[in-house]
Structure 1
Amino acid sequence: MIIWISISVILLITLVITVIIFSRKKSELQRELSQLNNEHEQLREQMLEHERYLAYTSHELRTPLNAISGGTQLLSKTAMDERQKKYLNTIQSAVDSALLIVNDILDLAKLDSNMVEVRPVDFIFTEVINGIRHILEFRAEQKGLQFIVELDEKIPPIVKGDSKHLTQILLNLATNAVKFTDLGKVVIRAKLLSEKDQSVVIRFEVEDTGKGIRKSSLSTIFNQYEQETRHTIKHSGGTGLGLAITRKLVELQHGEISVDSKYLEGTTFTVDLPFEKSQGIVQSHRESDESLYQPLSGIQILAVDDNLINREILFDLLKDANPYMQIDLAVDGEDAVLKAKEKKYDVILMDLQMPKKNGYEATEYIRKNLKYPHCDVPIIAMTAHALENVAESCFKAGMNDYISKPIDMNFLGNKLKKIIDKKVKLSDKFTRFKTVDLEHLQELTKDNKDRILKYINIFLSNLPDELEILKKHGEAKDFKSIRESLHKIKGIVAYMGIKSLTRLFSSAEYVNLETLGDEALKNFFNEIEETCYRAIDELKVIQNEI
């Protein structure tokens, strides 16, 4: 008995000790978890602060550069002597270099903070390569270099991948090749490395006959701030960040990058990147300056910017692109709202950072508080921010698109043309139809295509049955039921904008149908039936083509 009591006491003591230890461990774990949560929250706040700092820095640097760049574009179109042209080219080169440095620093900061996303899209492969050729070929020719592009015919014409970052990778490598080559050639090659059912791997090579890289520097060439010497950084006007950014962008897309070089003979950078095959159809958007802005004659644009210089430069650039565009200016978001309320614009170019109402607030106010069609105006954000989530914020506020400062007029032209093309009225597209008034339907639905289709579907589902009922009442000469059917059909066709039928039904309300002869009554029903079936045929075509 004593033994059992002793064992019980020992077990009880053991249990108590275990509970105490567990409680202490639990308390320690809770403290550690709380500490981790606090550290995580602090880290998150630091990331947000870092993001806000990047946005602020980007805006403060790009805004004056935008003014200088726009001013030089305007000056280049005026009469100047050779010495003035030389000075202007020097200014433009300095601005371009400053923008490159700003972009490099911000790009690397975004990559280090995991703020860059891969966004695959279907794109025309040759268009990316030819775009790089278009940018660099003239620079190469100015230095007396051959600029050669070699493309493997086995590469699919359309692939799916991040075309924006592919362009940045190849442009970084090819720009360096032109910069550091004084004699010979620069070659961009693209060849099919491997192929599967749904994907391909494409190898890109950028080869030059330039100064080359010493063997001792090859292992560190992709490190941040690493160029071969400090003299190289000073001579090139760069930051030493380009190759570090390129490597990170390649790795972000699950690719590989390597370099092979012989000092004083040349260098070849090799990049292998995976892409998905695409069966999609992609429309080419490369057009000349004239063809970009020619279709925009007569459009009404509201340009909004609180910076006087940027505002005037944008006005002059747009007028130079097409003098027949009608352009109004607003000095801040509040002014933009007032002008958008008074006048129907085809598009608003909206700066983001402004006093009174910023670009986001002005857009939200226009969307929520102005009447149709003023609330439906397309809005393009003009941003000096460098962060990718700016795009998300723009779309969330109700904007249709965005462009970065300094404004590239070709890029802006494409954006404007794309938006104006979307705004072409359905009623203009279907002008061959005489029975259905689509303009009425557009106003009713605020040009919402989903609603238009919904109403068309309801109309096509119900009208034939109602016509059959009307026909039966007509054959039976049940005039009370005829009037009820006519009233019901009138409501249906009025919403669809079939004015000829609305007028016919309205007149029937004031006509004593009982006094009509058989022939007149028959003609009345025939006209209703023929007009309704013409409308049905037109709406079926619209339903398929909308």
Structure 2
Amino acid sequence: MHPLLERQLARARKASADGSLDVNTLIALVDDAYQSADEERRLADRASDLMEAELRSANNEVRAQSAALLKAVLNTAGAAVVIARGDGVIEDVNTAAEHLFGYPTGSLIGKPLGLLMPADEGMGHQRHIERYMAGGPAKVIGRSRETRAVRADGTTFPVEVAIGTHVQSDGRKFIGIIRDVTQDVAEREQLRLLQTVATSVPDPVIISGVPDPVTRERRILWVNNAFTRTYGYSREEALAGHPSMLDHPDADPDAIEELYRASTEQRPTTVQILNRARDGRNVWALVSLTPVFNDDVLTHWVGIERDITREVEANERVHLLQTVAINANDGVLITTPDASSPTILYANAALEQITGYTLEELRGKTPHLFQGPETDRAALARISAALRAGEPIRERLLNYAKDRRPYWIEISITPARSGDRITHFIAIERDITQEIEADARLRAAERRLATAIEAVSEGFVLVDADGRATVVNDRFRRMFPRMAQMLRQGGRFTDALHRLVDQLHPSVPAAEWEEWLARRITEHVEPTGRPILHHLANSRWVQSKEARTPDGGVVSIFADVTDLKRAQMELEEARHRAEAANRAKSDFLANMSHEIRTPMNGIIGMNSLLLDTGLTDEQRHFAEAVQSSADGLLAVINDILDISKLEAGRVELERLDFLLEDTLEDSIELMAARAAGKDLELHCVVAPSLRVPLVGDPNRLRQVVLNLVSNAVKFTAQGSILVKADPISAGPEGVEIAIAVTDTGIGMDEAVQASLFQKFMQADSTITRRYGGTGLGLAICRELVELMGGTITVRSQPGKGSTFTLRLRFPLGRPLDRPLVSVSLAGCQILVVDDNDTNRTVFRGQLTAAGAEVIDTADGASALALLGGMMAKNTLPKAVILDQSMPGLSGTEIARWIKTVPGLNGMKLVLASSLGLPGQANGEAGLFDLVLVKPVRVRQLVESLGRLLSGETIEAAKPEPHHVPPPLPEPGSSGHLLLAEDNAINRQLATTILKRAGYSFDIAEDGFTAVERARQKVYDVILMDIQMPGMDGVEAARLIRDLGAPHGSVPIIALTAHAMAGARETYLAAGMNDYVTKPFDREQLLAVIAQHRQANASAAPDAAAGSTRAAGGATVVPGFDRAHLARLWDAMPPAEARDLVTMTLSEVDRVVTLLGQSDQPSLADVHNLASMAGIVGLMRLSTAARSLEEALRTNHAIDERLGTLRAVGADGRTELARALETLP
């Protein structure tokens, strides 16, 4: 559509209210449009004619305006603009160009361009123009070039020229834009200068960029040569890295933090930091970090790092030296270099302490301050001379402290130099006051020692390592004048020995001198310290002793021991006389023992037989008095013999397993009757921790405790006696025990206590007259206790009683197979009624340890009241233990009352009395379920109560009937014996005892007859007296043994009044099986006879069957006396009997195991086994063990008897174990 029509159409629509097209309106509009178009055409034609003239005029005007506009633009430009024609003539310039070159306005138009150039460049430019005009090559400077220009005044200056070309109708034009770059050149020159300076500066310089927003690292942009030299990185390595490559792991965190904060805050900072070079070297640097900004925008960081490594190290050395000086033990003083009057600049703490002055007090003073009246002026002069000469010096001086106390110093002064110039004097002072004083004391001691050496009664010689004497005292000079003279003249000690051997040891034959000298010189050169005795030519005796000194010398002491030697010789003679006297004493004691015991045997034995007959009460009283007196005399004899054995060192301790509680209870039980007779309470308390097997000699321990308890009973009129055992210390190897025997007797003062353990000592003669005794008992106790490795002490006060305390250590024995007590009282409530506090304490401890709950009270009234209350609450005890003798109600009265009260009959009543059961003849026995006689054994108490409370009936103690002589057995019913005895009374005694025991016998009055009878008949047992006329019992026993079986294998029992040390070993070595000492106890004699008769009877069939065993391999059961074992059950509580058998089984197992391993048991083991086997009825095993014991003692036929014991041991153990199962 024609544009005109489009416009009209748009108008028509716009005129319509709703925008629709009205045709009429459109037609009218189109018509108008055509008319308008015709009019425009007419006007256009007219205008065409006019415009051609106007365009020419307007074109000229536009050109004029354009030229004016261009001129205005050029004049306002900051740079100079020069327009030249192609021939190099200036056509136009702007104002800036005229000002730049200094020409008036318009004066440059038409001038050649060379006018603006230096002459040399202008000529070249002109030739260039000419070539260009001639049509040669044209080279235009282009965008930019720096060159020189000339002003109107002829001065040249640097310009930057940019030239372009423009072709117009009138030809090519050159348009040059010129800028004065004088300032740029100057700045660039300055920059080159700064760069040269930065490159040449000695400190490392780093220019880095801004931190990376991600890594926070700054890339290094430039480094100088000092950086590469200091850190070892090449320039290329540095420009590829970051400043962090210099980081050191030991750098100061504070310095690192400061650099980080300065970087973050974009501020300059300076820090001292430790860097690390490429090769790992430490580099200390003083880093100055400066930010560079452009229009307030951070663009760079410049870091200058001054290497201060040497300074830091120097400072560290200085600091180290300062620390050393400050903390040095020696005083340090630094002064000015003025030699005549140096001024103090510095003093360390040690010097302050030495002198008492502070540094403030010393600074500015001179060292003359320390001098005093006794300071060595000569030493001061030497110091001044050295200072003037500038030389070091060392001296000792007496100085004075601030309080004018003198002190000695060792001073060392050294000049400090810087080049050839002395800058300071440094003095090191060491306080040597103590050394000087010690040296003075040493010299004084040496003087005193020299005086002492001269004053001693021994000869003294000190030789040096070269063997020459340095000290010889006067005593030596008088003892050996010739030798001393040689030593004073410089002779060696060994040379003097060579020349004076005839004087020093005349007893050595001349032929042996060389050998003696060699030995003596060796002893001198290499002294052993042992004394050497010399018998000199003048008959004097000299003893020498030598020792090596630390410096290689030898000190020799020579003592004149002539008097001592004579005294020793006299003492030796006295010793021989004493030994002879001691032998005479031993012989006397042996004879006395025999001579006294032989009639004593008759007295005691006959009296014992007399007591077995029907006597009137008066006769029995007289016989019992005889028995008591004889026992007392026998005790005195035994004490004397014990002391003799101890003095001879012939008492040997056994090592047996034993229970301490049993041993102590045995001791007090033996004294129970005597204590009850005096109405004394006897108590035994053993700590529960000590109820374990121990290893020791129970018999000797029992002897000691029995002696102490016996004394306590003797010297106590009323009260009680307590035997108490407590552990002191315990460990896996053993236990240390304190056993105290305390009484409430007469006591003693300290004077008596001091001599109490001496032989034959008692408090005074009245003690002996009133109480009796030899004064040997405690001496024996002390000897035995010390033999057991222990101690015994006493603590006592007159009228308040005494306490004897044993301290002993025992190894632990083999553990028991089962508990000592097989019952428990756990849950049982028991009431104890006893007026004695100690009794109640003992009962409480014993019963509580067994698990019982114990209530106790001190009298009958309280007990009855207590029972009444408990009955009301239905909390009655299971049992009541009553003491008999109490104030108020007695035990029987309390029991009688209980029996009459309904509701109390269920309790078990137990009487514990030291006097036994009273009123038995009047029917009082039925009141009590159990009667215990004090002191009560622990196991007996617990076992009896346990059985009683479990419902078992225990037979109460029965009254002893009036003595009726037992009926005599048939003669020979017990066996046939041989009695060898020369004493008629002893024969009568022995035969009476044997007859009453049912034995038949033959009699031999001497050894010859005994041997002959033994040759003719085989007896069950031979009783052999030792001392008989003609042939004694020892020789007779040897001859009988030589007879061989069966006559020579009969058991032989020695009957001896010889109880001295070593007798037992002599009898056993002669082939005897056992021995009984006179005066013998009837029961003891019969028991020993029965034991060996039964052993012999059981061994005889075995001997006959020996070949059968060897041939057929059959096992014959060893002899075992079941009746003997049953009697053991009757003799003691079943629990104790079972314990004894169990211990025997363990011992048999142990010895048989040793034998099975082909080990030889010890003598103590075999002796222990023999005794235990005999006790429990293993007669053949006991005999075999005793036979081996004899073989071990005589070192004869050991292997044969080991084999016998090995053969019977296992079978005996089996038989005993089988029998044990059948017993309660």
Which residue identity lines up with residue 1211 of structure 2 in the other structure? E
Three-state SS of the structure 2 residue aligned to 1:365 is helix
Separation in structure 2 between the aligned mates of residue 409 and residue 328 of structure 1, nearest angstrom: 19
Residues 280 and 211 of structure 1: is their aligned pair in 2 closer, same or farther, counting only changes over 3 Å? same
Conserved 8 A contact 1:427-1:437? no
Separation in structure 2 between the aligned mates of residue 309 and residue 427 of structure 1, nearest angstrom: 34
Show CA shifts across 1:218-273 (max 9, x none). Answer: 22222233222211111112112211221122112111111122322322211122
Conserved 8 A contact 2:1050-2:1096? no
| Number of the residue aligned with 1:400 | 1073
| Number of the residue aligned with 2:995 | 319
Residues 426 and 165 of structure 1: is their aligned pair in 2 closer, same or farther, counting only changes over 3 Å? closer
Show CA shifts across 1:475-517 (max 9, x none). Answer: xxxxxxxxxxxxxxxxxxxxxxxxxxxxxxxxxxxxxxxxxxx
Separation in structure 2 between the aligned mates of residue 11 and residue 174 of structure 1, nearest angstrom: 69
| Number of the residue aligned with 1:437 | 1108
Separation in structure 2 between the aligned mates of residue 199 and residue 403 of structure 1, nearest angstrom: 35
| Number of the residue aligned with 1:69 | 604
Q: CA deviation at 1:37?
A: 7.3
Matches within 5 A, 1:327-338: 327-338=1001-1012
Conserved 8 A contact 2:994-2:1000? no
Separation in structure 1 between the aligned mates of residue 995 and residue 690 of structure 2, nearest angstrom: 42
Matches within 5 A, 1:57-206: 57-206=592-741
Q: CA deviation at 1:34?
A: 8.6
Q: CA deviation at 1:430?
A: 12
Show CA shifts across 1:357-404 (max 9, x none). Answer: 101010011112x24111111111122122120111111211112221
Three-state SS of the structure 1 residue aligned to 2:709 is helix
Three-state SS of the structure 2 residue aligned to 1:345 is coil
Conserved 8 A contact 2:1038-2:1071? yes
Residues 366 and 226 of structure 1: is their aligned pair in 2 closer, same or farther, counting only changes over 3 Å? same
1:310 aligns with 2:986: yes
Separation in structure 2 between the aligned mates of residue 241 and residue 396 of structure 1, nearest angstrom: 31
| Number of the residue aligned with 1:386 | 1059
Separation in structure 2 between the aligned mates of residue 259 and residue 402 of structure 1, nearest angstrom: 37
Separation in structure 2 between the aligned mates of residue 355 and residue 410 of structure 1, nearest angstrom: 28
Which residue identity lines up with residue 1030 of structure 2 in the other structure? K
Three-state SS of the structure 1 residue aligned to 2:682 is strand
Separation in structure 2 between the aligned mates of residue 235 and residue 57 of structure 1, nearest angstrom: 27
Which residue identity lines up with residue 135 of structure 1 in the other structure? L
Relative contact order (C-alpha < 8 Å, sep 6+): which is higher?
1
Three-state SS of the structure 2 residue aligned to 1:154 is helix
| Number of the residue aligned with 2:1092 | 419
Separation in structure 1 between the aligned mates of residue 503 and residue 705 of structure 2, nearest angstrom: 64
Conserved 8 A contact 2:793-2:805? yes
Show CA shifts across 1:432-458 (max 9, x none). Answer: x9x98349999xxxx9xxxxxxxxx9x
Show CA shifts across 1:158-187 (max 9, x none). Answer: 322222321221111111111122222222
Range moving further from structure 2, 24-33 or 197-206:
24-33
Which residue identity lines up with residue 311 of structure 1 in the other structure? R
Q: Which has the higher strand share?
A: 2
Conserved 8 A contact 1:54-1:386? no
Matches within 5 A, 1:489-528: none
Q: Percent identity?
A: 32
Separation in structure 2 between the aligned mates of residue 272 and residue 543 of structure 1, nearest angstrom: 38
Matches within 5 A, 1:460-499: none
Flag the structure with larger Rg: 2
TM-score by length of 1: 0.69
Residues 252 and 13 of structure 1: is their aligned pair in 2 closer, same or farther, counting only changes over 3 Å? closer
| Number of the residue aligned with 2:1017 | 343
| Number of the residue aligned with 2:807 | 272
1:17 aligns with 2:500: yes
| RMSD of Structure 2 on Structure 1 (CA) | 3.9
Which residue identity lines up with residue 991 of structure 2 in the other structure? F
Separation in structure 2 between the aligned mates of residue 281 and residue 23 of structure 1, nearest angstrom: 71
Separation in structure 2 between the aligned mates of residue 84 and residue 109 of structure 1, nearest angstrom: 38
Q: Which has the higher helix share?
A: 1
| Number of the residue aligned with 1:228 | 763
Conserved 8 A contact 2:648-2:1061? no
Which residue identity lines up with residue 1011 of structure 2 in the other structure? V
Residues 429 and 187 of structure 1: is their aligned pair in 2 closer, same or farther, counting only changes over 3 Å? farther
Separation in structure 2 between the aligned mates of residue 195 and residue 423 of structure 1, nearest angstrom: 45
Q: CA deviation at 1:57?
A: 1.6
Residues 73 and 277 of structure 1: is their aligned pair in 2 closer, same or farther, counting only changes over 3 Å? same
Residues 185 and 372 of structure 1: is their aligned pair in 2 closer, same or farther, counting only changes over 3 Å? same
Conserved 8 A contact 2:1053-2:1072? yes
Conserved 8 A contact 1:62-1:406? yes
| Number of the residue aligned with 1:359 | 1033
Which residue identity lines up with residue 344 of structure 1 in the other structure? V
Three-state SS of the structure 1 residue aligned to 2:671 is helix
Which residue identity lines up with residue 715 of structure 2 in the other structure? F
Separation in structure 1 between the aligned mates of residue 1090 and residue 617 of structure 2, nearest angstrom: 36
Residues 7 and 264 of structure 1: is their aligned pair in 2 closer, same or farther, counting only changes over 3 Å? closer
Separation in structure 1 between the aligned mates of residue 1015 and residue 1053 of structure 2, nearest angstrom: 17
Q: CA deviation at 1:408?
A: 2.0
Conserved 8 A contact 2:1020-2:1097? no
Separation in structure 1 between the aligned mates of residue 1062 and residue 649 of structure 2, nearest angstrom: 12
Separation in structure 2 between the aligned mates of residue 427 and residue 66 of structure 1, nearest angstrom: 33
Residues 97 and 541 of structure 1: is their aligned pair in 2 closer, same or farther, counting only changes over 3 Å? closer
Q: CA deviation at 1:73?
A: 0.8
| Number of the residue aligned with 1:545 | 1211
Residues 543 and 159 of structure 1: is their aligned pair in 2 closer, same or farther, counting only changes over 3 Å? closer
Conserved 8 A contact 1:212-1:262? yes
Structure 2 unpaired stretches of 5+: 1-488, 508-533, 543-564, 818-965, 1119-1155, 1157-1205, 1213-1224
Separation in structure 1 between the aligned mates of residue 664 and residue 975 of structure 2, nearest angstrom: 33
Structure 1 unpaired stretches of 5+: 1-5, 283-289, 448-456, 458-539
Separation in structure 2 between the aligned mates of residue 201 and residue 407 of structure 1, nearest angstrom: 37
Residues 26 and 78 of structure 1: is their aligned pair in 2 closer, same or farther, counting only changes over 3 Å? same
Separation in structure 1 between the aligned mates of residue 657 and residue 787 of structure 2, nearest angstrom: 18
Three-state SS of the structure 1 residue aligned to 2:500 is helix
Conserved 8 A contact 2:668-2:706? no
Q: CA deviation at 1:326?
A: 2.7
Q: CA deviation at 1:64?
A: 1.4
Separation in structure 1 between the aligned mates of residue 1111 and residue 662 of structure 2, nearest angstrom: 41
Matched positions, count? 431
Three-state SS of the structure 1 residue aligned to 2:700 is helix
Separation in structure 1 between the aligned mates of residue 754 and residue 581 of structure 2, nearest angstrom: 33
Which residue identity lines up with residue 625 of structure 2 in the other structure? T
Residues 260 and 11 of structure 1: is their aligned pair in 2 closer, same or farther, counting only changes over 3 Å? closer
Separation in structure 1 between the aligned mates of residue 1099 and residue 642 of structure 2, nearest angstrom: 42
Residues 310 and 436 of structure 1: is their aligned pair in 2 closer, same or farther, counting only changes over 3 Å? closer
Three-state SS of the structure 2 residue aligned to 1:403 is strand
| Number of the residue aligned with 1:375 | 1048
Separation in structure 2 between the aligned mates of residue 328 and residue 248 of structure 1, nearest angstrom: 44
Conserved 8 A contact 2:794-2:804? yes
Separation in structure 2 between the aligned mates of residue 50 and residue 83 of structure 1, nearest angstrom: 42
Range moving further from structure 2, 161-170 or 411-420:
411-420
